[in-house]
Amino acid sequence: MKKILFVTSEAHPLIKTGGLADVSGSLPKALAELSQDVRLVMPHYQAIKTHGDVRFLCSVRVDNRDVNILETRMPDSPVIVWLVDYPEFFDYPGNPYHDEQGNDWPNNAERFALFCRIAAEIAMDRAHLNWKPDLVHCNDWQSGLVPALLSLEHDRPVTVFTIHNMAYQGLFPSSSTAPLNLPGQLWQPYGLEFHSMLSFIKGGLVYADRITTVSPTYAQEIQTPELGYGLEGLLTYRKEFLSGIINGIDTEQWNPATDPLIEQHYQAESLQDKQLNKFALQRKLSLPVDEHIPVIGLISRLVEQKGIDLLLECLSEMAGMPLQFALLGSGDKVFEQRLLNFAHSYPDKIAITIGYDESLAHLIEAGADIFLMPSRFEPCGLNQMYSQRYGTLPVVRKTGGLADSVVDAVPETIGNGTATGIVFNDASAGSLMEAIKRALILYSMPDIWKKLQVNAMKKDFSWQRSAEQYLELYRSISLHP
């Protein structure tokens, strides 16, 4: 059994702004189910939703500040959660990182430096908790200083740093370093300095014993100028310590056999029942109810990263084809308006819902035949996995986790029973349109289509599978620190 300290700035269902929270909510639980002793540490925000008792454990003094450590648990799990309680830094309303206008909290460097300090104290068993981890697993820039601080310690635990999205790096002006009291030897180009700025993410990339990211393909992509954001050289330099492990999904929440938010339960053996979800979706969105017309779904943030501009270039042509299109999402106001204009022009073909609606998201996954994810980049992605589990074949661009989790339907993969979707290469409207046409041709061949659906529904996207890979990685570091 390993003692693992999991350091994160958010965890579902306590608080969530994105995919990091899903991983932090699921991976520690899955590791605990594999008999590991996992403790999670995160800041005690005002907006946190704790379940059950929260008790005061102790105070730790860092930088002339007395910081409280509170204890609670992850719901439905033995995983203990330690909350770093310092109201002056964390007792802010709403989002953990920025105010209601979307402006970063001005003292974010100090806030997360203090959080990292406390995590390092816990890791060295100097926080009076009488528990010392074998391994500290840090996530994204907010915990990036932990491996850096621990690198200066004698007899320290080993460290793993996971990148969930390289686009967010925790960059601050060098003037912000003085109040942080960072040890001088960390402030150098091969350290926390990045073009005369302080880079939190470099703390993880330079000093962690192992670096992981959320898919094998993304691990390669971040070593290129397109997706390395200026750190591709460092990542290439450390590539022998860098690997990708694809995220899992919550297979209880996303299960067509038990999903309470869909019209009709079904599984691979009763695929004909999927049609009833299609009818329910068509009725809900005021589209003509027709079992023969393919329904294409898309659930996404409406931003360029997700390839929404490519989709917009295809919609006129799609409107002239025998298909229906259902989209749920929000984001760029220009994209929202253009999509609504299409829906207005083609009310019997295109249904656009702006915003987020959990039950509609589940009904789209269950009721659509095809699911689009034309992302420019996608570190991991979840909807392509949900879609396969629901027998809704994904059309994805070959990038990041999309490339690693969808097997393109070509004669060879259809023949050997591995094909689960349609994959296209270029981030262009032409490539996307070709992929949609390929999907429609396959849809017109019911026997092949059903075979692809069954292949997709039988894939294992559980967190247990990912947790086993992490555990393998943890064990390999202990052998070769």
**How large is the average pLDDT for residues 424-449?**
98
Residue ranges matching CATH 3.40.50.2000 in the chain: 3-248+464-479, 268-460
pLDDT computed for residue 149 by the predictor? 97
Q: What is the CATH number of domain 268-460?
A: 3.40.50.2000
Please tell me what DSSP assigns to residue 116: H
Contact 105, 62 (CB under 8 A): no
pLDDT computed for residue 344 by the predictor? 98
**How large is the average pLDDT for residues 290-310?**
96
Contact 216, 232 (CB under 8 A): no
pLDDT computed for residue 4 by the predictor? 98
pLDDT computed for residue 100 by the predictor? 85
pLDDT computed for residue 244 by the predictor? 98
Contact 117, 181 (CB under 8 A): no
Q: Which of 10-14, 182-186, 302-306, 423-427 has the highest mean pLDDT?
A: 423-427
Name the burial class of residue 155, with classes exposed (0-12), middle (13-18) and buried (19+) by CB atoms within 10 angstroms of its CB.
Answer: exposed
pLDDT in tens, 201-248: 999 999 999 999 999 999 999 999 999 999 999 999 999 999 999 999
* Distance of alpha carbon 457 from alpha carbon 268, whole angstroms: 6
pLDDT beyond 50 at 455:
yes
pLDDT computed for residue 481 by the predictor? 47
| % of the chain at pLDDT higher than 90 | 91
* Distance of alpha carbon 313 from alpha carbon 342, whole angstroms: 11
pLDDT computed for residue 17 by the predictor? 86
* Residue 342: alpha-carbon gap to chain centroid: 30
pLDDT computed for residue 478 by the predictor? 65
Specify the CATH architecture of the domain 3-248+464-479: 3-Layer(aba) Sandwich (3.40)
**How large is the average pLDDT for residues 367-396?**
97
Q: Predicted confidence band at 178 (pLDDT cuts at 50, 70, 90)?
A: confident
Q: Which of 16-25, 246-255, 441-450, 471-480 has the highest mean pLDDT?
A: 441-450
pLDDT beyond 50 at 353:
yes
Concatenate the DSSP letters of all residues of 230-272 into one string. Answer: T-HHHHHHTGGGEEE----B-TTTS-TTT-TTSSS---GGGGG
Concatenate the DSSP letters of all residues of 117-154 into one string. Answer: HHHHHHHTT-SSS----SEEEEETGGGTHHHHHHTTST
pLDDT in tens, 69-118: 999 999 989 999 999 999 999 999 889 999 888 889 999 999 999 999 99
Strand order through the sheet with 295-302: 350-354, 324-331, 295-302, 370-373, 393-397, 422-424
Q: Predicted confidence band at 156 (pLDDT cuts at 50, 70, 90)?
A: very high
pLDDT computed for residue 52 by the predictor? 81
**How large is the average pLDDT for residues 341-368?**
96
**How large is the average pLDDT for residues 46-55?**
89
| % of the chain at pLDDT higher than 70 | 99
Q: Predicted confidence band at 374 (pLDDT cuts at 50, 70, 90)?
A: very high
pLDDT in tens, 264-288: 999 999 999 999 999 999 999 999 9
Query: What is the rounded average pLDDT for all residues in the chain?
Result: 95
How many alpha carbons fall within 13 Å on the CB side of residue 417?
4
pLDDT beyond 80 at 34:
yes
The SS3 of residue 33 is helix
pLDDT computed for residue 480 by the predictor? 52
